[in-house]
Amino acid sequence: MLYFKTALELVQMVSTKEVSVQELVSEHLQQVDRVNPNVNAICTLVADLALDQSKEMDRALAQGKDVGLLQGLPIAIKDLTLTKGIRTTFGSPIYKDFVPDTDALFVERLKAAGAIVIGKTNTPEFGAGSNTFNSVFGATHNAYDMSKTAGGSSGGAAVALACGMIPLADGSDLGGSVRNPANFNNVVGLRPSPGRIPRYPRIDAWNTLSVVGPMARCVTDAALMLSAMAGADQRDPISFSQHSRPFHEDLDADFTGTRIAWSQDLGQFPVQREVVEVIENILPKFGDMGCVIEEAHPDFSGADDTFQTLRAQMYVSDHAEDLAQHREHIKDTVVWNIEKGLELSPVEISRAQSQRTVLYHRVREFLDYYDFLVLPVSQVVPFSIEEEWVREIEGVEMKTYIDWMKSCWYITLVGLPAISVPCGFTSHGLPVGIQMVGKHHHERHLLKFAYAFEQAVQLGSAYPQVAL
């Protein structure tokens, strides 16, 4: 059974010719055929193309050629991302027949590193909202409870990973779209610093709110994927060079004396008691790692208006033309977000940008004392797939469709790297993760910390029943 082995194990098996790339891709495609009809994680499949490419790669390997870091690993690309020759719908009926003639920059990199694209993963319309459903492909079900949401917007990616359909997946993250579905499906999701993974093409090349990041079933595999994706490119003006070593190497580290700040709510938002209970049960593991953990958080006052303003401005940039031409084909929450942006004044936008700077420096100064901030990934456990968005948490009304994700998008605002790592299950068997936030551009140190935590917790192979 190859499909639940780690990506690093699979790379080694291909490298030593214990398994061929064709066998590797074929077995994962068989898992897709068997499991995907139940969960709807992969929305477009290009099995024949993937098999043809696997045969070509085997021939290259037989000739002693270097096929790249990822050695034929199958991958499915989120349906918000351009993939040459493969339908890319953005979860929207407006683009249901769109086939790009180019790859996004990071897809180019993954292919150059030897990954083989087997298809696309499902996403909400235009990636809006952390519940993966759309009118083109329908809803993606949670891997651990088919009646629950997969989260989003990288819900298809998280479920495909959890169910063994692919060993690695990409996600994009604005308000938590890598971290939230990773949390809901017991996998790992890294939101890197803006510019760590270059992006092209983009409408706004200077956008630092939305990033792409790796997702995997373990920290080491996420680091492996980051190694293939990261590094400067002149097509992205905010991109910067990675360190000289690949991110997946030398993850072992001693965290004795490391200062950890734990906050269940950043002093600002409600969190379901079930979420807090699972995380608090696991907090002693940081002590086992030698860390000193204290309850503390930086001041995030002003974050709500700041994020809502900057997000709405971004929606105008990305989707105002879609609204003008195809309003009847756009879901209500996206219409609301675009129109909110159209109503903004220059003063409101300028104020939000200034407040974001204030928030960054507050958190930076906080992390001058603490080495890491840890907090819940999501404020709730996976909710009913029939519920479009969470309306209430612990008696507190959620006024907009993204209010229940503040635990993620507060961190987005300050641009620091953050990772979601599994930490346990509720009494009803629903996954809960923990969010770890590192210092500016410190992905490598954050990955080492997450890896040490993962080793300390030792959750084991809690694979979803639907995938077995």
Catalytic residue among 92, 130, 153, 193: 153
Residues 243, 444: contact at Cβ < 8 Å?
Answer: yes
Quote the tokens at residue 301.
């006052």
| Active-site residue, 177 included | yes
Query: In whole angstroms, what is the distance from residue 114 CA to residue 219 CA?
Result: 20
Q: Which of 20, 78, 172, 448 is catalytic?
A: 78
205/184 Cα distance (integer angstroms): 30
CA distance 309 to 345: 10
130 counts as catalytic: no
Joined tokens for residue 132: 């993966």
Asked whether the bond before 193 is cis by omega within 30 degrees of 0, the reply is: no
Bridge-based pairing of strands 392-393 and 396-397 is antiparallel
* 263-266 contacts, C-beta under 8 A, 24 or more apart: 263/295, 263/296, 263/297, 263/373, 263/374, 263/375, 264/375, 264/376, 265/375, 265/376, 265/407, 266/297, 266/298, 266/300, 266/375, 266/406, 266/407, 266/410
Catalytic pick among 172, 177, 227, 263: 177
Question: How would DSSP label each residue in 266-292?
Answer: TTTS---HHHHHHHHHHTHHHHHTT-E
Query: Which residues are registered as beta bridge partners of 261?
Result: 294, 373
Sign of the torsion angle spanned by Cα atoms 6, 12, 17, 21? positive
Instruction: Say if CB 175 and CB 154 are below 8 A apart.
Output: no
**Could you tell me how many residues make up the chain?**
468
CA distance 124 to 154: 8
Look up residue 319 and give its two tokens: 């989707």
The number of helix segments (H) and strand segments (E) in the chain equals 14, 15
Q: Which two tokens stand for residue 70?
A: 């990822």
**Residues assigned a catalytic role:** 78, 153, 177
